[in-house]
Amino acid sequence: MISALLLFWDNLQDLTRSMGWGRHPLRFLVWAAAALPAALFAYRLSRFNRQLRLGGTRFAARKLLKVFYRGLEVRTPLPDFDRGGLVVSNHPGLGDSLALMAVLPPNRYRLVAHDRLFFRALPEVYRHLIHVPENPRERHSVVGQILEAIDRGLLVVLYPAGAIEPDPAFFRWGWTRPGEPLLGKWSPVVNLIARRLRQTGGRIWPVMVSDVFARKALFSWWANRGRDRAEKERRAVGYQLLRGLGRTVSIRLALGQPWAADELPGSGTSDDCVAQLQEICKNLARDLI
């Protein structure tokens, strides 16, 4: 019961922030409007948590995906996830993790995510995560946890940007500015992991996710009330959840073939590995834009 209440409260706060009223003195008016959607969202996630325990990760993810989206389009052949390794993906937000959970081998992966109340209220989800502490001084152990999971034959999903990146669909819709990069600045921690994989024979799988936003939400009257582009996108997230507009779109997923250890750059600089991975991901995005 306590977990359900915490989940509801966290969802209500997220909806309020996404609608641009996170610190507004009259935000309780938004709470009144968002309470029912937040409660429904909390119920669906609680059910997802139970389905994870009963049916496994892929089963639960596909069930929840049908609730929030029209479907999932895998635009490339699924690679053979025959051993442990690192899955690097862009991070447009909303449904990217759900899409990956729906195609990765059941119960054989860990997602790297910031530690937050939302996940602690979902114990079955929580145990499939590698948590990044809020305090930067406490993050030194994260790389070790990633490498340990890979050594155990697990796939570790990492969003190297560590923040929300543009949805590739934005480029198709003309939402982005001329010359804007498709991917954000990726963490050099990828290179540390890559050097270890060279020694152990692990692999890296590049992934691109698109269409987690609904065009109707992004160009809605509510999103357009935002003061700048970032606020418009946050408002679009809340509007999409409140109106169920995700069910009008299918998430698109493109997975590259595994990057074997002997193909990793040899100079050991962070720019080598990150730049090459980003280039592969940009090529994958051509199937999505």
Q: For the domain that residue 116 is a member of, what is the CATH number?
A: 3.40.1130.10
Dump pLDDT digits (tens) for 39-63. 777 788 889 989 999 999 999 999 9
Q: What is the pLDDT of residue 4?
A: 61
- Whole-number Å distance between alpha carbons of 126 and 71: 25
Q: How confident is the prediction for the chain on average, in pLDDT?
A: 86
Residues 20 and 140 in one domain: no
Asked, for residue 60, whether it belongs to a domain, the answer is no
Residues 79 and 125 in one domain: yes
What percent of the chain has pLDDT above 90? 48
Asked, for residue 91, whether it belongs to a domain, the answer is yes
Q: What is the pLDDT of residue 28?
A: 66
Q: What is the pLDDT of residue 88?
A: 96
Residues 75 and 32 in one domain: no
Residues 74 and 206 in one domain: yes
Please state the rounded mean pLDDT for residues 182-202: 88
Contact residues for 252 (Cβ-Cβ < 8 A; gap 6+): 73, 75, 168, 169, 209, 210, 211, 287, 288
Q: What is the pLDDT of residue 171?
A: 93
Q: For helices 142-151 and 189-200, give the axis angle rounded to 10 degrees.
A: 30
Nearest to 150 by CA among 54, 84, 61: 84
Residues 240 and 159 in one domain: no
Residues 82 and 222 in one domain: no
Residues 149 and 184 in one domain: yes
Asked, for residue 150, whether it belongs to a domain, the answer is yes
Dump pLDDT digits (tens) for 244-253. 999 999 999 9
Parent domain of 145: 67-211+249-289
Q: What is the pLDDT of residue 31?
A: 66
Q: What is the pLDDT of residue 270?
A: 47
